Structure 1
Amino acid sequence: MRHIANKEQEQAWNGYEGTYWATHQARWDSVNAGFNEPLLTAAAIAEGDRVLDIGCGAGCTTRLAARRASDGRALGLDLSAPMLARARESARREALGNVAFEQADAQVHPFGAGTFDVAISRFGVMFFADPVAAFANIGRALRPGGRIAFVCPAEPGRTEWLLAMQGLRDLLPVGGLGAPGGPGMFSLADPATVRDVLSRAGYEAVGTAPAEAYGTWGRDAADAAGFLLDSGPGRYLIDQAGKDVRDRARRRLVDLLSPHEREGALRLRTAALLVTARRPG
């Protein structure tokens, strides 16, 4: 039986949120694709490496890592059964034989000690109930001298989808979406917090660097607004409003996003931190 410490996250990612992400896998990959190369370059994956992908979702980064570790292997770990089903389907379709996926909570999963050379994550490490314990557990899974590299949201002031959502604050309770420091999306937005958490978890050579990328959120402003408001955070806000307010919020969000339309696509900037560290040894 799997041991789960992050039960609220398990419920969310096996409910509406996980199903939404799995259904819209290609869209989310388009949103976040600009971070793939910086992440994998920072991870310095070698041909024979054993790679652990934390919060792998539908498995895009796991499959990319498996291609770099052509003589090694890659394991994607996530709480979400719907997204892991998509991940496995994609790996089969791409005939990748050195990749596997497992449903588990990285905070408490009983990894074999020293079984991986490198751990990676693209926006999958911000929701741990106890981040120090989670990163320490991941660290035990790394061999001595093993590496970790991950991307997490930075301070929200330069992330354009969130700035657009803040334009709805008189209609919807959007204030909590961009609150750094507490549990949630922006829990690791402060570089000092990241360094403290990883140092307490037993890592050394912790580095944080700003990273930005533009992602495609839709064909146009209306398409992107619908996608945003139907995703987990957007749906939570919309569900608290009456129909008239919901309609006004959608119309206003379309107006706020319209200036970002270019050549048949709606592209928005996301600001992140690219974090690297090493297990001693």
Structure 2
Amino acid sequence: MNKIVNADMIEYWNSAAGRKWVRFQSLMDMSLLPFGQGAMDASGVKTGDTVIDVGSGCGDTTFELAQRVGLAGQVLGIDVSKPALAQAQGRAAYKTTRNFKFAQGDAQTHPFDAAAYDLIFSRFGIMFFDDPVAAFHNLWAALKPGGRLAFVCWRPADENEWVRVPCAAAREHLPQSASPVPGAPGPFSFGSADRTRQVLADAGFAGIAIEPYDAPLVADASLDEAVDFLMQIGPVGSAIVQSGMDNGTKARLAADLRKALEPFYTSQGVALGAAAWIVTAHKS
């Protein structure tokens, strides 16, 4: 029997995590919008392009790419999460054009048509592969000669205020929380620019450029809604689940988190600094 690669991540995104992503879809997409648009601008996406959107989630980036490529182009959004794809398909029903489609699959092993695409794109969807070189080589093989790669990924956690502030507030309630193993599948696995460059080079890409991209991560929500969001999604949310935290401790953590977020509350909602890389490369 063939080994299922990325099994842990596939299970994760098809469990409560996937359902939480759907629950917070609107808030998440609005918060991440500048990062996706920055990567799209860097990608050179144009009318008529054929595009793979890796980790397409609830469809927001796929729909934006479809607008940019126009009716002469086509976008394939691929994700492992059934809940997210169901949300994307539901949203797709309200779109007037159909120059996009969605597929459930793992981009590391999915049988893409060879040399058929102009662009591989991802907004925070490429950090979860258990063998990133194999995954990116599979994507490389799907590109036409000269085809482009563009994605945005997080810089290290300690450079991201949206991680530091909630984690500091939660620290006394989660004393056993451990730092992630560098390079292990997860949100910050491509935090090292040197490692990212090596992975892409080993996968066959050329012309690799890695540029810092900083923007506020704005949650257009009340303080209480932002607390709920951060206790469900991200490092604190994951740690709460893993710890089996009781309701009393959750309430105390929520109070401390609310206090920590108060200085960052603006007329637009809670705004915390976020640090990412925008990465581009091509198939020579």
Quick check: 1:47 aligned with 2:47?
yes
Q: Show the counterpart of 2:281.
A: 277
SS of the aligned residue for 2:200 comes to helix
Indicate if the aligned counterparts of 1:165 and 1:253 stay in contact, CA closer than 8 A.
yes
Would the aligned equivalents of 1:78 and 1:103 in 2 still touch at CA under 8 Å? yes
Shift of residue 178, structure 1, vs aligned partner: 5.9
When normalised by structure 2's length, the TM-score is 0.93
Is the Cα–Cα contact under 8 Å of residues 167 and 236 in structure 2 kept in the other structure? Answer: no
Partner of 2:15: 15
Shift of 1:10: 1.1
Residue type at the aligned position of 1:170: E
CA distance in 1, matches of 2:3, 2:42: 31
Larger CA deviation: 187-196 vs 237-246: 237-246
Deviation at 1:173, TM superposition (A): 4.5
My pick for the range that moved more, 220-229 or 199-208, is 220-229
What is the CA deviation profile of residues 70-122 of structure 1, one whole-angstrom value per residue up to 9, with x for unaligned ones?
A: 11100000001111111122222122210100000000111111111001000
SS at match of 2:280: strand
Taking only the aligned residue pairs, the percentage that are identical comes to 36
CA contact (8 A) 1:166 1:175 kept: no
Separation of aligned partners in 2, 1:253 and 1:96: 43
Q: Which residues of structure 1 form unaligned runs of 5+?
A: none
TM-aligned CA deviation for residue 217 of structure 1: 2.0
1:237 aligns with 2:246: no
1:36 equivalenced with 2:36 (yes/no): yes
Q: Does 1:184 align with 2:186?
A: yes
Partner secondary structure for residue 46 of structure 2: coil
* SS of aligned partner of 2:272: strand
2:162 and 2:217 in contact (8 A); partners too: no
SS in 2 for 1:186: coil
Cα 1:38–1:72 shift into 2, 3 Å: same
Q: Which amino acid is 2:272 matched to?
A: L
How far does residue 32 in structure 1 lie from its aligned partner after superposition? Answer: 0.3
C-alpha change, 1:171 and 1:29, in structure 2 (3 Å) is: same
Equivalent-residue separation in structure 1 for 2:138 and 2:120 (angstroms):
12
Aligned residue among 268, 274, 279 for 2:272: 268
The answer on 1:246 being equivalent to 2:250 is yes
Matches within 5 A, 1:131-210: 131-167=132-168, 168-173=170-175, 175-176=177-178, 180-210=182-212
Relative to structure 1, the CA distance from residue 187 to residue 166 in structure 2 (aligned partners, 3 Å threshold; closer, same or farther) is same
Q: Which moved more, 1:86-95 or 1:239-248?
A: 239-248
Q: Secondary structure at the match of 1:47?
A: coil
Partners of 1:175 and 1:39 in 2: CA distance:
32
Q: Partner amino acid for 1:150?
A: F
**1:258 equivalent in structure 2:** 262
Q: How many residues align?
A: 279
1:217 aligned partner: 219
Counterpart Cα distance in 1 of 2:219 and 2:188? 20
Give the conservation status (yes or no) of the 8 Å contact 1:31–1:215: yes
Residue 235 of structure 1 and its aligned partner are, at CA, apart by: 3.5
Larger mean CA deviation between 59-68 and 156-165 belongs to 156-165
* Equivalent in the alignment of 1:126: 127
C-alpha distance in 2, partners of 1:96/1:157? 42
Contact 1:209 1:274 in 2 (8 A): yes
| TM-score, with structure 1 as normaliser | 0.94
Deviations 1:140-162 (A, max 9, x none): 00001100000000022231221
Q: For 1:210 and 1:116, how far apart are their aligned partners in 2? A: 26
1:200–1:243 Cα change, 3 Å: same
